[in-house]
Amino acid sequence: MNQFLFVCTAAAALCLAASARAEKPAGAARVIENDYVIRGFHFASGETLPELRLHYTTLGKAHRDAHGRVDNAVLILHGTGGSGRNFLNERFAGVLFGRGQLLDSNRYFIILPDGIGHGKSSKPSDGLHMRFPQYDYEDMVSAQYALVTLGLEVDHLRLLMGTSMGCMQSFMWGEAYPDFMDALMPLACLPVQIAGRNRLWRDLIMDAIRTDPQWLQGEYKSEPLEALRTAAGVLLIAGSAPIQMHIALPTRDAADEFLGKYMPRQLNDLDANDLLYQVNASRDYDPSAGLEKIKAPLLQINSADDFINPPELGIAEREIKRVKNGRFVLLPASDQTHGHGTHTWAAVWQQYLAQLLASSQPPAAIP
């Protein structure tokens, strides 16, 4: 859910939400947006949609090796409440996608999809409201696979990355399609059932929406603001980074002023039904039983100041032992990390991405 919030440096002391203006990094390939429509999409719940629209953003072009297989595709999956264009900012694209950088979009084919229920893809607020199919992560991964293979005609991935929700879906991709990628890099998640505090903050948001009299079973004429106010507050704390927040808000007055600016913006950006579905989509996530199925080298990175995935649990260290080619890195909390949102500050962890790319280089190098 860290796509909802980033706390900037003390000099800026501003909240940057998921709707922040996307930026094309200097020297990067042209940014293209499009839709892929899947007809008669069947959801795990048994529901169907006559047409499921998946919006996506790409940079660069696909390259095929001597055998005709795509060898330069990079799929990057966003977090809850976000979209593919969230990666087009100076913190992420500005560090990775420019000319000469690790994922230079002049060499790689970068694919940034909007998951079901997110961004410009099909979602409840399009008109179906609570009649929209109750999608889950399995549905999101299936739709992503259809987009990549059928929509973009990509038959192999050089790299699959994911942040937060996308991190969780990375583990699911590795299990469902173990021969489809050369490397996996999940950032900011755990490969187990969502439980404990991680489940509770999601419950708080869903309960706030469902119990607000103005929600009207999803048929509200105007947003249920009290529910969204509660949700925005929970998201603020869950996505916060203690060190960064104290640097940016060192006094009582600064904190109060920040909250006064933060809340109206969040209330303006959130839709109750979309948010309810987005948070509920994690309800049956649990890839733990199939971790041994993952074949590709996998490098998982979490940060020690992550409220959602606290390192004290020791889960990542335990579960990574079951991934044949798996490695886990815990970034110490510092004035360079940003809590759960550290995954989008590529400068903090790009050295590990470089190691993963080098250690998983396929036989035929990209020209």
**Residue 1's CB: how many other CB atoms inside 10 A?**
25
- Work out the pLDDT band at 320, boundaries 50, 70, 90: very high
Report pLDDT digits (tens) over 50-66. Answer: 999 999 999 999 999 99
pLDDT value for 21: 52
Cβ-proximal residues to 267 (8 Å cutoff; 6+ apart), any chain: 223, 225, 228, 229, 232
- Could you tell me the pTM of the whole model? 0.93
Question: What's the mean pLDDT in 102-110?
Answer: 97
Q: 3 pLDDT exceeds 60?
A: no
Q: Burial, 355: exposed, middle or buried (Cβ in 10 Å; 0-12, 13-18, 19+)? A: middle
- Work out the pLDDT band at 25, boundaries 50, 70, 90: confident
Q: 366 pLDDT exceeds 70?
A: no
Could you give the angle at which helices 252-269 and 225-238 cross, rounded to 10 degrees? Answer: 120
Q: What phi, psi does 50 have (nearest 5°)?
A: -55, -40
Contact status, residue 53 vs residue 45, Cβ threshold 8 Å: no
Report pLDDT digits (tens) over 114-141. Answer: 999 999 999 999 999 999 999 999 999 9
Q: 12 pLDDT exceeds 50?
A: no
Average pLDDT, the chain: 92
- Work out the pLDDT band at 20, boundaries 50, 70, 90: very low
pLDDT value for 362: 75
DSSP state of 22: P
For 2-359, the fitting CATH number among 3.40.50.1820, 3.40.50.300, 3.60.10.10, 3.90.1310.10 is 3.40.50.1820
**For residues 325 and 8, which has the higher predicted lDDT (pLDDT)?**
325
Question: What's the mean pLDDT in 339-366?
Answer: 89
Q: What phi, psi does 353 have (nearest 5°)?
A: -60, -40
Question: What's the mean pLDDT in 275-303?
Answer: 98
pLDDT value for 361: 82
